[in-house]
Structure 1
Amino acid sequence: MNKIALITGATAGIGEAISMRLAQEGYNLIITGRRQERLDSLKAEIEKQHRTSVLTLAFDVRQYDEVKAALGNLPSEWAAIDVLVNNAGLAVGLNPIHQGVVDDWERMIDTNVKGLLYVTRTVSPGMVERKSGHIINIASIAGKEVYPSGNVYCATKHAVDALSKGMRMDLLPFGIRVTQVCPGAVETEFSIVRFKGDKGRADQVYQGFTPLDAENIADAVFYAVSQPPHVDVQDMLVMPTAQAAASIFHKE
């Protein structure tokens, strides 16, 4: 029987790449996001390429009632989730703290911190009951360092770092592994979202060096989940060769 992986934020970028990689490795997938049409497209592509099953669930991780409704009453054949990938997250705006946009702050806190908590709170009790499971939190170099004008985004990813450590302690007696994967610069929709659709400004972020791509992070996730049960890859920092720290790059 195929293992089951749940991936949040699967409609683009890293979440989509993780979904494709785990399908390639024989996982049945629960893929979630807010855009049903993208979920349907990804499901069709996966099932065309791989002999695996896909369940799509469109909801907003920021809304606890939606999370509970979608994940709290899964069909029996989907209930025993082996791997949870908390991938849904975003950066919005790049302003110094005194010019911050409160709505941007709310979106980042609600998605990156509260959304991760809501999904984990709903899924992890089943793992505890089965004394088996693996939680993957997609964090960031921004959870290790702070950079100018990254204030609230960095704070949310520092929270993911702390939560990953806390989860590991709380779930230790139940044999549940917790892995944090921290990417550096990855060329996805990330910067387009941060700059609110300004593609020209987003493209400038990745000029002059070769950034990571989403598949690089998917490879890191699969490496962690493919280890034998007694091995927990707890924390992975994955950077482009041209990036030494959050805001230090070598650009041609």
Structure 2
Amino acid sequence: MVVALVAWELGSVLGALPASVFPSMSETGGRLFGLFVDPEFWNSFRETLISWIIGVVAAAVLGLPVGILLGRVAFLYKSSRLLIDFLRTIPSVAVIPLLTLILGATMEMKVVLVIYGAFWPIALQTIYGVRDVDKVLMDTVRSYGIPRLRSALAVLLPAALPYLVTGLRISVVVGLLLAISGEILGSAPGIGLDMALAQTGGDVSLTYAYIVFIGLLGVTVDLLLNVMSRKVLFWHASVREEKE
């Protein structure tokens, strides 16, 4: 990272990178710090954050029970597999024009977009996790007459938890990308729209400042998700092996 930043600065100072396309690293850093003291920036960031969180939470609330149901009932899984494979292969950004036409350039449009994109990783990973649970284990639970709700909470969910955590991690990142994409392509309020307006207005250094901030946000989210998954899966063999 240090080498890349130094090369960026030297390339701008020496003229190897055209100023009209690549502002210097120091100039971009100055504009980035300028964003942090701009109240309008934090208002836009709040718009992005709210739509992102609401969309991911709603996707999890919908995806977990759907995934458990389809994973446990073989008939439902087989009869819906073709429809699932068709819908999940549609790029989420491809539905932005349709959602913008129906809902307009609003936060609701972004929330629906995030739900659509974040639903599939959670639902599919839940299906895979539930179907991968040892059948002998579930037969043993049934033989002891343990109620279904208790067996689901005490046996099924813990066994499928690594898959659920993976699906949630993917969905959180996908949701962030879609929230910003909805702002850029659908003109919904947020930091994505601010970045698009800066680019349209020819303010290259401000555009790069937004890009750097979004990148730093993505890295921060990824690090937090890594920590969270290790805390939740501290008992799992993969986490124990890494610690050893």
Same fold (TM over 0.5): no
Larger radius of gyration: 2
Question: Normalized against structure 1, the TM-score is what?
Answer: 0.26
Normalized per residue, which structure has more strand?
A: 1
Normalized per residue, which structure has more helix?
A: 2
Question: Normalized against structure 2, the TM-score is what?
Answer: 0.27
Instruction: Tell me which of the two structures has the higher relative contact order, counting C-alpha pairs closer than 8 angstroms and 6 or more residues apart.
Output: 2
